[in-house]
């Protein structure tokens, strides 16, 4: 089918889909006469961080995550400090190697994000913090918000300028955007967005895959081999800590795909994550899927989420042709200290440059190329460690009260 034909059919489909009523949209602009609102965000470790006020207290850093259906407060101390009252217990399941989390339902909170407000929003508070999300991101993180926010507006994410633009859905000019963006149909199931994408493995096998669009994931794409017998882990992989999920750290393997297609756009040679534990992404959930797409792919586009019309609009930005690179040191870092500006080695891959340099788990990285790490964010350090094959970095590290220097030679491992 030609692109022109798809455009006409898709526009017809758009016009037939009704907008949700105002009652179904928990967030509204504080000034109802506004057509749009802009909101800055921080992108740390490829996660979108927005300031959130709860019951007029804050701001609290929250992750903006299309992969969650309800607001989740991940810092248990926040419950008492702002006077929230739990009403009943539930279990929360997410990615990671831990067990399901105990949480308390909160039926009514006033939640404000920028110039938007939800007067009566429900959510959940995790009873114990298990996964140290703040230490992973290098900022105090208090929670995660997703569907309620995305379902209230048409939302444009500009990853280059770190800015959200929120539109009143009934005033959003879809015809204008479709002249500059490509529309990709999405499925909203169980309050999460999915798309159908074609991936090509490095053995040439082409597979149609159902993937969650997950702005709460920092990786390019995660695939569950259990979900499809054709979906095989590449022959060339490296073991790695893939990230941190609600249920704890995610370990597994990294390999490369030949390509990933989003609509008419082909993403070439992306890195894919393959968890090494039984994630049950396919069989243990009500909605079968093959994995998810994260911000390492999404940030190569200007992205518009249009939940009211079950659509995603994409336009490549200046990052579209950037190569996909992974950490070239072989060490995973976590932050600590009062302001999360101390960095400790959490994991070292055997045979990696970090291992060969004699670094050990729990070593503190004090400086890189004579720049104190306390002056750097964890994202800036990540960028250095994936910057260039065979690059030399002079590291100062601390171990048991002693400091030492070592030259770390980066090596592309995947």
What does the pLDDT look like over 361-395, one tens digit per residue?
Answer: 999 999 999 999 999 999 999 999 999 999 999 99
Predicted local distance difference test score (pLDDT) of residue 180: 94
Does residue 11 surpass a pLDDT of 50? no
Burial of 56 (0-12, 13-18, 19+ CB in 10 A): exposed
The pLDDT value given to residue 95:
52
Report helix, strand or coil for 353: helix
CA distance 140 to 137: 8
Output the pLDDT for position 244.
Answer: 64
Mean pLDDT of 295-324: 97
Please state whether 51 falls in left (phi above 0), alpha (psi between -120 and 50) or beta. Answer: beta
Give 295's Cβ-side CA count (13 Å radius): 23
Which has the minimum average pLDDT: 58-62, 127-131, 333-337, 388-392?
A: 127-131
Q: Which domains are delineated in the chain?
A: 22-166 (2.40.70.10), 182-316 (2.40.70.10), 331-409 (2.30.42.10)
Residue 94: band (very low, low, confident or very high) from pLDDT cuts 50, 70, 90: low
Phi and psi, residue 381, nearest 5°:
-65, -45
Contact criterion met (CB below 8 Å) for 267 and 261:
yes
183-204 pLDDT tens trace: 999 999 999 999 999 999 998 9
Per-residue pLDDT tens for 246-303?
556 677 889 999 999 999 999 999 999 998 755 444 344 567 899 999 999 999 999 9
Report the pLDDT value the prediction gives residue 282, as an integer from 0 to 100. 38
Whether the predicted pLDDT of 165 surpasses 90: yes
More confident call, 240 vs 84 = 84
Residue found under tokens 């503190």 = 364
Positions of E strands within 80-150:
89-92, 101-113, 116-126, 143-145
Poorest-pLDDT segment among 57-61, 91-95, 98-102:
91-95
Q: Which residues contact 14 (CB under 8 A, 6 or more apart)?
A: 174, 183, 309, 311
Rounded Cα–Cα distance for residues 53 and 121 (Å): 12
pLDDT at 401 over 70: yes
Q: What percentage of the chain reaches a pLDDT higher than 70?
A: 88
pLDDT in the model for residue 131? 63
Q: Give the CA distances from residue 101 to residues 98, 128, 145, 216, in Å, rounded to whole numbers and listed in that order.
A: 8, 8, 17, 18
Burial profile 280-298: b = 16 or more Cβ within 10 angstroms, e = fewer: ebbeeeeeebbbbbbbbbb
Of 102-106, 110-114, 328-332, the poorest mean pLDDT is in: 102-106
Q: Dihedral through CA 271, CA 272, CA 276, CA 281, nearest 10?
A: 160
Spatial CB neighbours of 377, under 8 Å, sequence gap ≥ 6: 44, 138
- Which 3 state secondary structure label does DSSP give 12? helix
Instruction: Give the chain's mean pLDDT.
Output: 88
pTM across the whole model: 0.90
Tell me what pLDDT residue 99 has.
Answer: 60
In the predicted model, what is the mean pLDDT of residues 102-130?
A: 91
pLDDT for position 286: 67
H or E element in which residue 311 lies: strand 311-316
Which residues have CB under 8 Å from 92's CB, separation 6+?
72, 100, 101, 102, 103, 124, 126, 246
Q: How confident is the model at residue 342 (pLDDT cuts 50, 70, 90)?
A: very high
Mean pLDDT of 108-117: 97
β-bridge pairing 342-348 and 271-275: unpaired
SS3 call for 32: coil
Under the banding of pLDDT at 50, 70 and 90, the label for residue 24 is confident
């Amino acid at each position: 089918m030609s692109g022109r034909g798809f455009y006409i059919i898709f526009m017809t489909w758009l016009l037939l889909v009704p907008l949700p009523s105002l009652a179904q949209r928990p967030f509204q602009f504080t000034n109802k006469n506004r057509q749009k609102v802009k909101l800055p965000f921080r992108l740390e470790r490829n996660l979108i961080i927005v300031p959130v006020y709860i019951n007029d207290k804050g701001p609290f850093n929250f992750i903006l995550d299309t992969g969650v259906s309800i607001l989740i407060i991940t810092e248990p101390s926040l419950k008492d400090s702002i006077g929230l009252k739990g009403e009943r217990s539930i279990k929360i399941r997410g990615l990671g190697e831990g067990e399901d989390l105990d949480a308390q339902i909160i039926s009514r909170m006033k939640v404000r994000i920028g110039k938007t407000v939800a007067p009566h929003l429900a959510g959940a508070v995790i009873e114990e913090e298990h996964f140290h999300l703040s230490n992973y991101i290098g900022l105090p993180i208090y929670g995660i918000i997703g569907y309620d926010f995305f379902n209230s507006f048409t939302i444009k994410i500009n990853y280059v300028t770190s800015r959200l633009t929120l539109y009143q859905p009934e005033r959003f000019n879809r015809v204008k955007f479709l002249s500059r963006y490509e529309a990709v149909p999405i499925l909203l199931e169980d309050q999460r967005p999915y798309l159908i994408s074609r991936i090509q493995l490095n053995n040439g096998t082409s597979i149609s895959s159902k993937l969650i669009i997950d702005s709460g994931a920092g990786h390019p794409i995660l695939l569950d081999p259990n979900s499809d017998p054709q979906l095989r882990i590449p022959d060339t992989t490296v073991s790695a800590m893939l990230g941190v999920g609600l249920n704890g750290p995610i370990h597994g393997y990294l390999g490369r795909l030949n390509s990933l297609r989003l609509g008419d756009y082909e993403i070439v040679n992306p890195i894919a994550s393959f968890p090494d534990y039984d994630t049950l992404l396919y069989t243990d959930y009500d909605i079968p899927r093959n994995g998810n797409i994260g911000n390492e792919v999404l940030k190569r586009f200007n992205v518009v989420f249009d939940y009211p019309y079950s659509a995603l609009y994409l336009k490549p930005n200046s990052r579209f042709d950037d190569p996909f690179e992974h950490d070239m040191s072989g060490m995973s870092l976590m932050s600590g200290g009062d302001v999360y500006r101390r960095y400790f080695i959490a994991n070292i891959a055997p045979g990696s440059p970090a291992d060969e340099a004699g670094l050990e788990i729990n070593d503190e990285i004090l400086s890189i190329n004579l720049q104190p790490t306390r002056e750097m964010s964890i994202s800036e350090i990540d960028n250095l460690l994936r910057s260039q094959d065979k690059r030399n970095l002079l590291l100062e590290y601390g171990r048991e009260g002693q400091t030492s220097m070592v030259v770390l030679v980066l090596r592309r491992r995947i």
